[in-house]
Structure 1
Amino acid sequence: MAHLDHFSQPDSSERSVAVKNFTSDFSEFITNSPSSYHASQECARLLSDAGFTRQDEHEQWLGHQRGYVLRSGAILAWRIPNKILSDVGFRIVGSHTDSPSFKVKPNPDAVNYGFSQVNVEVYGGPLLNSWLNRDLGLAGQIVTIDGEVHLVKTPSIMTIPQLAPHLDRSVNSSLELSAQCDYHPIWAIGERSVFDFVCEQASLDPERVAGMDLFAYDVVAPAVYGGAGSDFFVSGRQDNLSSVFASLEAFLASDDSECEDIQVMVAFDHEEVGSTTFTGASGPFLEAMLRRLHSNISQGENQGEEGFQRMLANSSCISADAGHSINPNKPEKHDPEHRPVLGAGPLLKINANQRYATEAEGTALWLRSCDMAGVASQEFVSNNDVPCGTTIGPLTTQRLGIITVDVGVPLLSMHSIREISCPSDLFDLSLVLEGYFRGA
């Protein structure tokens, strides 16, 4: 993974090369991460390559100074400083690995009017019409009756055909589609089992399969174009692999940091469907791992429950999730005084009703990190008539009671099968997160 020693104030040519290398690495990361399970495994691979040791959470905690825990579609990594001071805390960057999609139902096979189809249900809140007429594969995990987990990724095998305008004269004026009837992919002519096909691809006996978590994904590779050639990065799953990759890159790049806090990178699963799972931000995953880290390093004033609570009081979290760039075709959907745009830097996300966790103390933390990295920041506040979504920030602060700030890169076409970002924003987010990890 290429990274720039950006704190030395590089010239424009050095920065251009660093952005290009970062974008290339991000493209490879997205391609290798068609599902949340693949994304967490890809993070684990990169962490292992960098010398981090996997801790099996089922086993006794071994006290690795640089380690990680992999739990299904979620992952948490840490780095413990050489010397533990009395005011040590956790510096946490959180993100999520899942993206809106279609999930295969337990009985996946259907035959209708000479076509074999795949039974799916909507996962999260995708921009549904963007999934029509696309080359789709299936990716995720299959678990056999003995509990073995197998990652699966097929090439393009299915598509969701749209009715031609000759058969629906209103299609270009008012598109109304049924999630049950119209979003029903075809995958073969005649009667064939997609379940058997996927098992064959994974070299599994269908009779041994206990369950599966398979999702549709766009097989088209990411693309970079626009302006002089690199204004736009276009790909699926940028919400929220953009933050997963940026936080991982920042975490690895700060390995030589003299930060006195415990650095933690966590990527949850299931944010798009509410986070209330054993790998989600509303679950105990993060708190449980922090407690195990605490028990391993506790000494003096940091011992026991009182010591853990003191550590939390010294802790903070940056919740990194994609945000909204202004769409030049619909500027009225944004607040007139808060109109972030692609290419002008990462976003600080603010909401009076705490749909984002940002408050003034978190803002100061974010701006210190931006200043250390030499990066400009933008503010996103929603139009009062267009309520914003939410993310893991409020869930994290609710569970741990620590200062949390919500940030991310601006996107166009969020939740579309192809989302649009700017390479320089992606790179700059990583720089700011590195500044945070280094102690800003």
Structure 2
Amino acid sequence: MERKVAWNERSQEDLAAMEQLAEEYRWFISENKTERECTQAAIALAEAAGYKPLSRAIAEELPLQPGDKVWAQAKGKALILVHVGRAPMAQGLNILGAHIDSPRLDIKQNPLYEAQGLALLDTHYYGGIKNYQWVALPLALHGVVAKTDGTVVDVVIGEDETDPVFCVTDLLPHLGRAQLAKTGDKVVEGEDLDLLVGSFPAQAEAAEGEGEGVEADKPEAPKDPVKARFLQLLEEKYGIGEEDFLSAELEVVPAGPARELGLDRSMIIGYGQDDRVCAFTSLKAQLALAASPVVPDTTAVCVLVDKEEIGSVGATGMTSRFFENTMAEIMELAGESGMLLLRRGLEASRMLSSDVSAGFDPAYASVFEAKNSAYLGRGLVFNKYTGARGKSGSNDASAEYVARVRRVMDDAGVFFQTAELGKVDAGGGGTIAYIPAEYGMDVIDSGVAVLSMHAPWEVTSKIDVYEAYRGYEAFLRHM
């Protein structure tokens, strides 16, 4: 059952629409490299499409009617968009769910130190990374610093062409014999992923009274002059001091924009495509409903959550009550109050857990099972189950639900394929799918095939991005 290559089947009009979407996508992932930035950008796009904050509707006790569109956010790092349909929500929702966090390096709370004339920041890696991939490449710093006076300072350094960048250093091969003898997971240790941020020492300050006819003491040099200069620059540019690192969320990510890949410009290489490629296409599909004058039959929901890369935990992850509480508030305003109706609605819902799949890479063919792999250029990927080895930790979608999804995709002319995450005993992985499935709803994983997943720079096919968008929109409209 070899699937068709989507490139060969699309019209010039389709390919033009694909290019436009790909440009929007490249902009989105280039400008939004953290979950906070993704949330802010998505809210701006949603409000431009007519969405209103749920918090206002709650405060003013505004009833929600079919066609109304609201958004809710959790601590600036997770977002839910809801487009109210004509049918009662207790009969079920059509839900797209993706995550907006990506593997990276996080700055520790007490990070700054000087060693042999260099200033460095300690980091703690986030999510599943190969440590050695993060050395010797330009890195940027994104995040926020919350000060005790209540102000929050946004930090982005390394993205503008005039900005400096940072890096994690590597050992030269001439001295690396012992390093290269180590296994891949030990070549670069986690504690060695320190960010190089400066080497220029602060100038010594003259003692008080110098130049006033009084014999002055010799200028006093700071104990750690390079660290001192780094702190001076932080104070001058951002008004923050060393103590403010205690209440900061600073993320180290690859510097620079996503680029077109290949002489034919058919692919995109960029940071954070797991899972922002699915988050972006889910968001675009949700907003496409707002552009139509027709109210959807079924309420459409787009859920963009944090913390999937570390187990979907915390107040902004899928295991939190954010999704459930938001839907309870919305159903209350829509006149469907009560826990029983909420439970009925969640159980009757249908969801695409929008997450990426491993694209077949001929350089590493030995870990893939060719008949059940995802291939770049063959469209949206469906994973009936993920998990590891014996499907451990997997949500295994029912045959009946898979058949319904197939019908929707076929009717909409969406190119799609099915896949597993490598050979049975080669490894595995998970998504958020099993969490909403606990309500009893039907859930299946679907997304875009990715090469070099979890590397600083990941690769996707433009045509797959386009088919994902088309498939997600078809699901919201017709499931």
Same fold (TM > 0.5): yes
User: For 1:270-285, what aligned pairs fall within 5 Å after superposition?
Assistant: 270-285=307-322
* Cα gap change, 1:417 to 1:370, in 2 (>3 Å): same
Please report how far the alpha carbon of residue 328 of structure 1 lies from its aligned counterpart in structure 2 after TM superposition.
0.3
Q: What TM-score comes out, normalization by structure 2 length?
A: 0.83
* Cα gap change, 1:135 to 1:209, in 2 (>3 Å): closer
| Structure 2: gaps of 5 or more residues | 1-8, 159-163, 202-225, 386-390
Please report how far the alpha carbon of residue 11 of structure 1 lies from its aligned counterpart in structure 2 after TM superposition.
6.1
Q: Does 1:185 align with 2:195?
A: yes
Please report how far the alpha carbon of residue 58 of structure 1 lies from its aligned counterpart in structure 2 after TM superposition.
11
Number of the residue aligned with 1:334 = 368
Q: What TM-score comes out, normalization by structure 1 length?
A: 0.90
Helix, strand or coil for the counterpart of 1:254? helix
Give 1 or 2 for the bigger CA radius of gyration: 2
Maintained 8 Å contact 1:369/1:433: no
Maintained 8 Å contact 2:109/2:246: no
Number of the residue aligned with 1:428 = 467
Which whole-Å CA distance do the structure 2 matches of 1:170 and 1:328 have between them?
30
Number of the residue aligned with 1:7 = none
Which whole-Å CA distance do the structure 1 matches of 2:396 and 2:53 have between them?
31
Maintained 8 Å contact 1:357/1:406: no
Which whole-Å CA distance do the structure 2 matches of 1:336 and 1:104 have between them?
40
Helix, strand or coil for the counterpart of 1:110? strand
Which whole-Å CA distance do the structure 2 matches of 1:43 and 1:361 have between them?
33
Q: Does 1:169 align with 2:177?
A: yes
Number of the residue aligned with 1:16 = 15
Which whole-Å CA distance do the structure 2 matches of 1:353 and 1:262 have between them?
32
**Residues 171-198 of structure 1 deviation map (CA, whole Å, 9 limit, x = unaligned):** 5665533434431121111413656645
> Which letter maps to 1:183?
L
* Cα gap change, 1:332 to 1:94, in 2 (>3 Å): same
* Cα gap change, 1:125 to 1:354, in 2 (>3 Å): closer
Which whole-Å CA distance do the structure 2 matches of 1:366 and 1:196 have between them?
57
> Which letter maps to 1:217?
V
Number of the residue aligned with 1:3 = none
Please report how far the alpha carbon of residue 149 of structure 1 lies from its aligned counterpart in structure 2 after TM superposition.
3.7
Q: Percent identity?
A: 23
Which whole-Å CA distance do the structure 2 matches of 1:144 and 1:377 have between them?
48
Number of the residue aligned with 1:373 = 412
* Cα gap change, 1:303 to 1:73, in 2 (>3 Å): closer
Range moving further from structure 2, 178-187 or 389-398: 178-187
* Cα gap change, 1:420 to 1:185, in 2 (>3 Å): same
Please report how far the alpha carbon of residue 370 of structure 1 lies from its aligned counterpart in structure 2 after TM superposition.
1.6
Number of the residue aligned with 1:217 = 253
**Residues 301-359 of structure 1 deviation map (CA, whole Å, 9 limit, x = unaligned):** x4422222222232111110111011101112012421221111121113344524433
Helix, strand or coil for the counterpart of 1:134? coil
Helix, strand or coil for the counterpart of 2:428? coil
Number of the residue aligned with 2:283 = 248
**Residues 275-310 of structure 1 deviation map (CA, whole Å, 9 limit, x = unaligned):** 111110011110111111111113xxx442222222
Maintained 8 Å contact 2:122/2:193: no
> Which letter maps to 1:248?
L
Q: Does 1:232 align with 2:263?
A: no
**Please, what is the CA RMSD of the aligned residues?**
2.4
> Which letter maps to 1:69?
A
Please report how far the alpha carbon of residue 392 of structure 1 lies from its aligned counterpart in structure 2 after TM superposition.
0.6
Please report how far the alpha carbon of residue 19 of structure 1 lies from its aligned counterpart in structure 2 after TM superposition.
0.9
Number of the residue aligned with 1:130 = 133
Please report how far the alpha carbon of residue 363 of structure 1 lies from its aligned counterpart in structure 2 after TM superposition.
1.5
Which whole-Å CA distance do the structure 2 matches of 1:53 and 1:87 have between them?
22
Maintained 8 Å contact 2:136/2:167: yes
* Cα gap change, 1:86 to 1:49, in 2 (>3 Å): closer
Alignment partner of 2:97 out of 73, 77, 94: 94
Number of the residue aligned with 1:346 = 380
| Structure 1: gaps of 5 or more residues | 1-9
> Which letter maps to 2:154?
L
**Residues 149-186 of structure 1 deviation map (CA, whole Å, 9 limit, x = unaligned):** 44321124310111000011365665533434431121
Aligned residues: 425
